[in-house]
Structure 1
């Protein structure tokens, strides 16, 4: 008898921990890299820190495309393995790799022709444009490492091999952290490269992580057999990947537009306000990343058990995930409320940054708890192949609520009022998530009990 994958037999609490903890650790290390990277860049100048903050929307768009394809591949591969359709799982994985290679070439074009225009459209500060252009051109020219890293990590996750995915991501992030000060400040006889050094450290870590991900898949992933020579693009599979992953792409792309718009709202107050927002995003990643790591574990669990028709395991996975996310976010909220001054002190802050940042961190962190539940439920929607619900939530939260409210609050002339837009939009989003979850339970989970009889 064929041995069933652990996602169909291991107790759910143990399985969720087994699948999620490695990814949570790797996400924490990745978030730590983002913080350390900004700490070193802040030592160059506040303009350098602001330039990296302004570059984030383009980097986020890169992540959006790679993760979106990864979400589609993850959900489809795990579901097809649950259905014992191994050939289809292989074809899906191969087409996912193909798509993210194409995406990397798209960003090479952006890096070659649009980066200076991107920065000059946001600021006339020559130092910010100089630092930002040097940084972002390297990131985009060598984006293939980032795209392949995420692709092959998601393939490992889709078959339950999250430990190997953790290893590749941790090694890449640690390499990045080690190389940051060496390249930025010119240690060990190397030239001091400033923000260019931060970019070179980033792409070097990504290439190393991608190389490990490729090795682990071909060496240890026994449920997938990838073939480079026999590969041919399959339009129907590409459509399926995008059908599930496109909502994630759009959601994160909307996030890029939101960050770009928020930067423009805040820079009207001062460049320091924009730097504070960039610092917040790196700090909040240390709270949010463990939840995203857990989501990387729960998507294949739900996908597999949906394909295998195990509704009780699906329900238990969802309940435990929401519970764990709430605990993580509550801890983050407490930390931001008690230690905002310490958190800001990591980034060589000016008195003005302290003045704006302490209040900002305390207000912004109030939305952590509802955001945790919303993030988990949005991933549940994607695991069922219903990314349209996740997309609707993201559109309403960011386009309909967050950005207009932030703009209206900015008209009061008090920058502190802008931060309340996050709590308002996240609370409404959670209510919508609960409504959509009720629909999924009725139409997709409950019918599985009848099919299982």
Structure 2
């Protein structure tokens, strides 16, 4: 085989991943095949996205335990900054999906163009605010003097480059709304490779590079995501994949911005609620040793990897719900949601069973500190039996968002994380002051708190209860009342 023949074969195989609108019709025919086709590239894209963080976690774990603890504080803050502005990208994705389902391509392109403009603008503002206030925020969370310098340096670099990170997430959302999840996956792959290659050079100071430690990991990430954003914008301007953005439609339209906010603000509240809960959990975790903080950071990173199938189903069903409501097919949208919930429950339950047995080996990949490995494995083993319930929560959340009920999805997230998880973790991880008249047996029982195990318990309890709430809420059917042509629910262009 010649080199030219080999290249042609690779191109043909990659091209086979793409489906035309007729081949990937989300509004008619079977449910499982198009939903899985839509969702599988999202799994790969999210795995690659997590690879940014995992690469940082791996290399910094080899650098020092203090560096690992520093990014344990830094990652939730990044999540918060992105979540504050991500509502606009969710709004854009939903609108593109609904207009695509209703066969209104010009309105879909206008929605995409306006979303890109305002989302990047919002990220510039958030990045500027984050740069100046990250240190104070980290102190508020309880970061120790040992951890604070590294976490602050990492977050300040990320804040300066937040628009590049955020811009690529917008690209992914808009392409997904149009039904193209393969293109973002391919772009992400290339930039992850760049990040993984850069990390050790900038962290350890290999070759001509200075030793930057924690800050080096941030520089590598921002550089790589900047490349991804540039490629994504070029693809959308060209318009031969997924959705197209037009420079003439990118002139800021404040009236349209208000319409975007109707969907975007609740979606931001959902993401922000998740981010704040992780940061608030750090406030609880920060009261324990550096070992517990590092173990918590590794555990959260592994969770983000294991939950990829559920998040992919969440995003896939969001698009299917939006397109089917746009096409006037709510019953098909409901069927897609129920299938996604069942499928995600089974897949994550299997992954949970594997995690229980593999936990020590998995954690040891990210840290060679025996105490961190033991603590991190314990965290995973407490939560793993409830992984399947996360699949149910995320599937129905995607359905709410796709129907335009972004406030419902936000309320569900806040209930799960703020109303259930945090109080349970707080109470269970601290001794309870029980009056002596309860008797010595009860006093001894409650005075001996679960310590860090109480935090792990909070995760498990909230996963199970939230799944029941999500299913009951969806079965009420109130999401069916969303009218994709109603300006109160969607930001339809007034052109």
**Fold conserved between structures, TM > 0.5:** yes
The alignment status of 1:274 with 2:297, answered yes or no, reads no
Aligned counterpart, 1:449: none
8 Å Cα contact 2:348-2:391 kept in structure 1: yes
- The one-character-per-residue Cα deviations of 1:349-380 (angstroms, maximum 9, x if unpaired) are 42332342222110022321111111110110
CA contact (8 A) 1:48 1:127 kept: no
Q: Secondary structure at the match of 2:154?
A: helix
Distance 1:146 1:70 in 2: 12
Residue by residue over 1:130-173, the C-alpha shift from the partner in whole angstroms, topping out at 9 and shown as x without a partner, is 11111111101011111110111212111112111111222222
Contact kept? 1:57, 1:255, Cα under 8 Å:
no
Match of 1:79 among 98, 105, 124: 98
Give CA deviations for 1:188-245 in whole Å, capped at 9, x if unaligned. 3322211111001111111111122112222344674422245333344323333223
Whether 1:429 and 2:466 are equivalent positions in the alignment is yes
Q: Secondary structure at the match of 1:190?
A: coil
Match of 2:275 among 231, 253, 256: 256
Does the 8 Å CA contact 1:336/1:361 hold for their aligned counterparts? Answer: yes
Which of 224, 234, 238 does residue 257 from structure 2 map onto? 238
Q: Which residue of 1 aligns with 2:452?
A: 415
8 Å Cα contact 1:154-1:165 kept in structure 2? no
Deviates more, 1:115-124 or 1:399-408: 115-124
Is 340-349 or 135-144 further displaced after alignment? 340-349
Which stretch of structure 1 is more off in the superposition, 332-341 or 227-236?
227-236
Is there any run of 5+ residues in structure 1 with no aligned partner, and where? 446-453
**Alignment partner, residue 409 of structure 2:** 390
Match of 1:450 in 2: none
1:22-45 residue CA offsets vs partner (Å, 9 max, x unmatched):
111111122233222201111121
Cα deviations by residue, 1:402-444 (Å, 9 ceiling, x for unpaired): 1111111111252212211122222221121112111227844
- Partner SS for 2:146: helix
CA shift for structure 1 position 73: 0.8
Distance 1:124 1:372, change over 3 A: closer
Higher relative contact order (CA 8 A, sep 6+): 1
1:320 aligns with 2:339: yes
Take 1:258 and 1:428, find their aligned partners in 2: how far apart are those partners?
16
Query: Which among 289, 301, 322 is matched to residue 303 of structure 1?
Result: 322
d(CA) in 1 for partners of 2:303, 2:22:
41
> Whose radius of gyration is greater, 1 or 2?
2
Q: Secondary structure at the match of 1:226?
A: coil
* Partner residue in 2 for 1:23: 42
Per-residue Cα deviation, 1:98-144 (whole angstroms, up to 9, x for no partner):
22112221233224311222233344633311111111111010111
* Corresponding residue for residue 122 of structure 2: 103
Distance 1:124 1:16, change over 3 A: closer
1:40-68 deviation line (CA, Å, top 9, x unaligned): 11112111111111112221023313432
1:3, CA displacement in angstroms? 6.7
Partner of 1:57: 76
Matches of 2:222 and 2:341, distance apart in 1: 34
Give the Cα–Cα distance (whole angstroms) in 2 for the partners of residues 254 and 301 of structure 1: 25
Secondary structure class of the residue paired with 1:154: helix
Matched residues in 1 for 2:115 and 2:212: separation?
Answer: 35
Cα RMSD for the two superposed structures: 2.2
Q: Relative to structure 1, is the Cα distance of residues 99 and 184 closer, same or farther in structure 2, using a 3 angstrom cutoff?
A: same
The unaligned stretches of length 5 or more in structure 2 are 1-20, 431-448, 483-495
Cα distance change of structure 1 residues 222 and 189 upon mapping to structure 2, 3 Å threshold = closer
